[in-house]
Structure 1
Amino acid sequence: MTIDEMAARAAAGAGEETGSVSEARIDEIRCEYETEALGIGVASPRLSWTIGTEDAGFEFDRYEIELARDDGSHESAIVESRDQVLVPWPFAPLRSRERVSVNVRVGRGDGWTAPSRTLVIEAGLLEPADWSADLVSPASLGDLDDGAPIVFRDVEVDERPVRARLYVTALGLYEFSINGQRVGEDILTPGWTAYQHRLRYQTYDVTELVTTGAVALRAVLGNGWYRGQLVWPGNRSSYGDRLALLAQLELTFADGTTTTIGTDADWHACRSGILRDDLYDGQSTDRRIRDDAACRRSEPVEVLPPYGGALVARTGPPVRITQTLPATRILTAPSGALIADFGQNLVGWVRLRVRNASPGERVTIRHAEVLEHGELGTRPLRSAKATNEYLLAGDAEETLQPTFTFSGFRYAEISGVPDLRAEDVDALVIGSDLERTGWFVSSDPDLNRLHENVVWSMRGNFLDLPTDCPQRDERLGWTGDIQVFAPTAAFLLDVSGFLAGWLRDLAAEQKPDGECPT
């Protein structure tokens, strides 16, 4: 329908009831900013929904929210309102860990739409007293140049739980596993917050991972924004000099009893195969070091004082691998170096498959956005090394990718693999997992390409916070950049939860006179 046709239709129908309740439907329902509401961090979460209808003029004058609790009780609330975005919670506040189901329908006159899908909402740990775990740190391992330590404990579980929740965060970055299975798909957790004021925790449903018998709990800790380099060389430990883990595994059994296993003095620490990690400089990994073997030479952890700020649930989407791009070609530089070209500037990791290598062979991957005279152009990176190194285990086939770093690049120079093939090299695009909401297409290919460049640039710079660049030694959340770009960002992607969380960090760091960090 053209704009003129829409205007004519609106004029012809002025003063008449528009839309049909029977044709309308609730397309989506959200809690706060989430379509999956596990570990919500507020007791009275707001709800939003979208309405689909064949008639663009559909309006409603009331809505009904139905709630079901785990104990079988039901409630409903009818509100005379046309609001549908972040509407107030009409029921009693949720308790920590409480689990409810809600749906919504809207009405006009004597009619109602069909109810929306059922959304399960589960509250996280809403009060400081809900945390019984201690913040633990390796006693002597894990210095700045020691590489990434593992913090671990093995426990016995006599009965398989009907529900298991892991609440976890770290000073630094963490990757958690249970019985050798990685927990969740999130990466670079818990992300960058105003650490002195707020520390974000994640909630995971790990029911399928917890078995009877021995259960191995493991977390590898990385430097990240907390302790790694920020901006210029040598500017490290901006927030603290010790990595630490805070984890609480809560098991619920069929008879209603619960068991909590939290980080405490019974946990231990050992070295991992990650010898060096930094967001700017990259990661070095010795794949010959197996976690189980390393853990035989361990040390007790040290219990640190309680975290002094607020432990908060996330408000925006996590950082994840959002796309995979295969290498388009392998170039040979004038120096003889082999360079994989992915055909697109992106932010993320290189995933490389290597076969039949000898133990201890070294593979090095260097990243850059451009070529200079046919060679990898690293001058724009300034001091950022953007280099990942691997000492191979010697397996028949090994897949190499980092854990605690990221780079902005189109090209990757790969040494140590003389028979490099394009089909063995992929680029894993990482960033905050934002939903696309806006598109633009014109009749001009160059304008379309410019628009796509904007989208790719936004994807690369919206990695847990809005940054100014993703490749060189800066990557900071300057307020001026996002102030200018926010309207475009809000058109292209759903940034509501993403920016809400970042603005809370910004507010936490405001000075007494109201001045904000730049």
Structure 2
Amino acid sequence: MPTSSSPTPPRFEHRTELGPILGIGTERPRLSWTVPTAPAGWLQRRYEIEIERADRLDRFEVASNDQVLVPWPGRPLISRESARVRVRVADDQYSGWSEWATVEAGLFDPADWRGSFITPTEIGGLDDAAPILLSNVDLAGRIVRARLYVTALGTYQATINGRAISDQVLAPGWTSYDHRLRYHVYDVTGIVEAGANELGFTLGNGWYRGRLGFEGRRAIYGDRLALLAQLEVTLADGSVQIHATNDSWCALSSGVVADDLYDGQTTDLRIEARTGRRHAVESVDYPKERLVAAEGPVVRPVQEAPALKVWTSPSGRTLVDFGQNIVGWVRLRTSGLAAGTTVTIRHAEVLEDGELGVRPLRTAKATDSYVMDGGPDRILEPAFTLHGFRFAEVTGVPHLTAADITAIVVASDLRRTGWFESSNTLLDRLHENVVWSMRGNFIDLPTDCPQRDERLGWTGDAQVFAPTAFSLFDTAGLLSSWLADLAAEQWPDGTVPYVVPDVIGAGSPPSPTAAWGDASTIIPWTMFERSGDSGILERQYPSMRRWVDRIAAAAGDRHVWDQGFQFGDWLDPAAPPDDPARAMTDPALVATAYLARSAHVLAATAAQLGYAEDHARYARLADETRAAFSRRFVTADGRMESDSPTAYAVAIVWDLFADESQRSAAGRRLADLVRAGGFRISTGFVGTPVICDALTSTGHAQVAHRLLLQTGCPSWLYPVTMGATSMWERWDSMLPDGTINPGEMTSFNHFALGAVADWLHRSVAGLVPLAPGYRRIRIEPVPPADLDFASTTHRTPYGDARVAWRRNDGRLLVTAHIPVGAEADVKLPDGSRLFTVAHGDHEWAVDREPGDPTPATIRDLVDDAPNWSVLLRELSLAGIGFDTETKVAGRLLAFFDQPLTELAQALAPEGATLPDTRARVREITLRVTAKMPDRSAVLEGTLG
């Protein structure tokens, strides 16, 4: 058989950066590759790996069809060791070799760190200017390699000879400092010079010492900034010079006179740091055993958003619109400003009454200031803060133009993996808004919002969004690191904090809460499903088990978790603005459902890892909890105690019914509740990720599509119609009149409600992961009637997978691309049989799609979107007494099963004369259907 193309250069663990991978944190990094092309019928049956080290070249042949996270075949790496790796694959005969990929080990042993953490002794206090730590090193001889290993308590900007070593910002990021501290490794071979070199590190407060949380606390982890740095230079003669932080270094005050992630940065350009007084430093204790290598990508500027408009507000302020709600900061170019002039930039996500809408910031100042030095041209931008904003207010710069100012997007440099496109521009903008909110809130860890005095790693938000996160970006490295923090922060009794790292805990375990604590089980499982990494299950298994044991104990022998505080279906749109936990769904129902879900996930994890006894134990717990859930919250005919969409959705998707008849009845009731709500969303954090799946899986896809494409408030598309460029925290963060929601907690950049994007990929476009890492895929598009086409691409661990469909001349054309190493089960919308295809390009034509039924009942009329819309308009014009779609649909809920002859009775307002109402409704209905003779005859007959 002909061979495949050469594989791509191997990847190492979950590192995605281009070029050599420096500072890998494991001695045996797992390898992954893709095979771009192969002939039909080709299967990888074996592979060869070559590992080239300084002293030898080893080749290993393995009989296996695996190509994702395969074991390192050679001897373990040692600290600092570099190796080049390449791979080739074979069916009958070998392909060509891949290009070489380079991996370099980090520092595996605490003893590898020769220096100590150092801190200034007289400057750098909590309210002082940011300190600069300096040292000089002389290098004698020709330099062949130079590495800089760095971490800090605080954040750092590093320079050598005044030149930045990297575009990374806010390093080393935020971890649970009491347990783990990340370090980074930089190749500075091209920066250091033979002879004298100056190392400089400016330290910012960052997460370590700045404000954190909504209680105004500072210096939660410590009140002294500190640096650990180690420069290792290999010379041509083979000798290695190591220069590390110690008491011989010195400190100076910088021109950054104040810095805070929430409040912003103040910089005095008149201060020449290098000419100031030099101060001593001293060593501080921090256990080097806590140092860990980076697993995910660094935080850096990833994009620029030029100003679209500069204008004067009603109050006379200079405002700037960047056209996109982002996270980052402003870069401003100035010229000729006098010394002592203060330039101030304030930030906000929205406008209100023509001015910056700053109330959503709460106490965060989100302000950057610069005191000018009188120089002719200056570029102003901060380095130790972040803001969430679309708009800025600038003072101190006369005659500002759009060319002078740019927004800099800052984010973890995640590799994009998922795309979606359709014929509906509002829907495409919704998807883009999800992407932007994820980009803005996945900064070193998943946070809730970027603008106010919070920005915390809320576990519930990350849990509900995890499938979408993996659909859009390669988040395996970032979330792996965060899950390690979660396990470290978990209480001995198994309770998971509400936020990780936990900066709001009060010194004792909080009440365990469903959906939030379940991040400990569901996110590792989601990561395994989407990335194929069973190692994350092995590492997190003790944490997963502790959580399930904790909540099983809270539920007791009844297996009903109805005690203690719960967030419930947080931000249900029916909840009052000042009480987002007061949802329609019983918190005990939500909690018990999550107990069943996490027990099921843990049982599946135990089975995957080969823990037979644990599998049996937790499978039994899951079964008993499902049975208890059904007894406690479900009636015999499938009605839920909480007659809410969230209650039905979680029970359907997580299989919590006693039998299929209950599930089917629940699906019908869920669809009717959505209809009765005027196809407006009525779920919070818990129900939103699963409601469309629940409707689709019970045969009500058209209802899910109506829910998706609704533009009234509340809905997914309502914010888009209001000009949103990112996801909102509340369905109505901005009210229809343009005012900000009165609730204290309001953000315009919050990813949780964007969890629907994963369903867009899986159902609307039709690309479903079936086996871990997308090794097996299902192609099953469910096309909405109102779309002409949709497509999705996902960069799987095996390569790009694509599905697209388009309506054309009465046919539906479906195309797909399956990457080499994967296969797909196909189910087309015409209901044809399920069949399997291998890698390559495929195309199918569907001649017949399921049609819409002729309206015979009131429910059918509600489902007939064009006629339903006309009916609503006609009723409004006729003054029947209903001013909103929700009121009309809600009135009809009890009559959905009735024939259209009951429409007049159903719509008769209190006190109205029935014959008059019947006549007007009959006239309206006939007028609505006049252009559809095949339907008008039916309606006329039933109403006549």
Q: TM-score, normalised by structure 2?
A: 0.52
Please name the residue that 1:106 is paired with: 89
Give the 3-state SS of the residue equivalent to 1:409 in structure 2: strand
The structure with the greater share of residues assigned to helix is: 2
| Residue identity opposite 2:157 in structure 1 | E
- Confirm or deny that 1:449 pairs with 2:413: no
- Alignment partners' CA distance in 1, 2:311 and 2:271: 32
Report if aligned partners of 2:489, 2:496 keep a CA contact under 8 Å in 1. Answer: yes
Match of 1:60 among 44, 53, 56: 44
Residues 371-394 of structure 1 show CA distances to partners (whole Å, capped at 9, x for unaligned) of: 111111100110110000001121
Structure ID, larger Rg: 2
Cα separation, partners in 2 of 1:22 and 1:229, compared to 1, 3 Å? same
Cα offset, 1:34, TM superposition: 2.1
Please name the residue that 2:101 is paired with: 119
Please name the residue that 1:91 is paired with: 74
Please name the residue that 2:232 is paired with: 250
| Residue identity opposite 1:323 in structure 2 | Q
Please name the residue that 2:365 is paired with: 385
Please name the residue that 2:255 is paired with: 273
Give the 3-state SS of the residue equivalent to 2:419 in structure 1: coil
- Confirm or deny that 1:201 pairs with 2:183: yes
- Alignment partners' CA distance in 2, 1:100 and 1:514: 40
Please name the residue that 2:8 is paired with: 27
- Confirm or deny that 1:469 pairs with 2:452: no
Report if aligned partners of 1:21, 1:107 keep a CA contact under 8 Å in 2. Answer: no
Please name the residue that 1:10 is paired with: none
Cα offset, 1:474, TM superposition: 0.8
Report if aligned partners of 1:26, 1:50 keep a CA contact under 8 Å in 2. Answer: yes
- Alignment partners' CA distance in 1, 2:273 and 2:177: 29
Match of 2:25 among 30, 37, 41: 41
The structure with the greater share of residues assigned to strand is: 1
Report if aligned partners of 1:47, 1:86 keep a CA contact under 8 Å in 2. Answer: yes
Please name the residue that 2:338 is paired with: 358
Report if aligned partners of 2:42, 2:91 keep a CA contact under 8 Å in 1. Answer: no
Please name the residue that 2:513 is paired with: none
- Alignment partners' CA distance in 1, 2:68 and 2:455: 33
Report if aligned partners of 1:196, 1:308 keep a CA contact under 8 Å in 2. Answer: no
- Alignment partners' CA distance in 2, 1:47 and 1:211: 35
- Alignment partners' CA distance in 1, 2:265 and 2:370: 8
- Confirm or deny that 1:140 pairs with 2:122: yes
Report if aligned partners of 1:172, 1:222 keep a CA contact under 8 Å in 2. Answer: yes
Please name the residue that 1:317 is paired with: 297
Cα offset, 1:202, TM superposition: 0.5
The percent identity for this pair of structures is: 56
Please name the residue that 1:3 is paired with: none
- Alignment partners' CA distance in 1, 2:69 and 2:126: 44
- Alignment partners' CA distance in 2, 1:282 and 1:498: 25
The unaligned stretches of length 5 or more in structure 2 are 499-944
171-180 or 157-166: which moved more? 157-166
Match of 1:398 among 363, 372, 378: 378
- Confirm or deny that 1:288 pairs with 2:270: yes
Cα separation, partners in 2 of 1:373 and 1:306, compared to 1, 3 Å? closer
Report if aligned partners of 2:120, 2:281 keep a CA contact under 8 Å in 1. Answer: yes
- Alignment partners' CA distance in 2, 1:450 and 1:159: 58
Note the 1:210-221 alignment, pairs <5 A: 210-221=192-203
Report if aligned partners of 1:329, 1:341 keep a CA contact under 8 Å in 2. Answer: yes
CA RMSD of aligned residues (A): 1.3
Residues 415-470 of structure 1 show CA distances to partners (whole Å, capped at 9, x for unaligned) of: 00011010110000000001111100000000011110000000000000001111
- Alignment partners' CA distance in 2, 1:101 and 1:22: 24
Residues 156-206 of structure 1 show CA distances to partners (whole Å, capped at 9, x for unaligned) of: 222242111000000000111000001111110000001011110010011
Cα separation, partners in 2 of 1:21 and 1:398, compared to 1, 3 Å? farther
Cα offset, 1:369, TM superposition: 0.3
- Alignment partners' CA distance in 2, 1:514 and 1:80: 42
Cα separation, partners in 2 of 1:91 and 1:395, compared to 1, 3 Å? same
Please name the residue that 1:6 is paired with: none
- Confirm or deny that 1:480 pairs with 2:460: yes
| Residue identity opposite 1:82 in structure 2 | N
Report if aligned partners of 1:199, 1:309 keep a CA contact under 8 Å in 2. Answer: no
Residues 199-220 of structure 1 show CA distances to partners (whole Å, capped at 9, x for unaligned) of: 1001001111111222111000
Report if aligned partners of 1:251, 1:260 keep a CA contact under 8 Å in 2. Answer: yes
Cα offset, 1:23, TM superposition: 3.6
Please name the residue that 2:409 is paired with: 429
Cα separation, partners in 2 of 1:125 and 1:329, compared to 1, 3 Å? same
- Alignment partners' CA distance in 1, 2:179 and 2:165: 26
| Residue identity opposite 2:77 in structure 1 | L
Give the 3-state SS of the residue equivalent to 1:51 in structure 2: coil
Report if aligned partners of 1:282, 1:405 keep a CA contact under 8 Å in 2. Answer: yes
Cα offset, 1:351, TM superposition: 0.2
Cα offset, 1:155, TM superposition: 2.2
- Alignment partners' CA distance in 2, 1:26 and 1:162: 31
Note the 1:152-171 alignment, pairs <5 A: 152-171=134-153
Alignment: residue pair count: 495
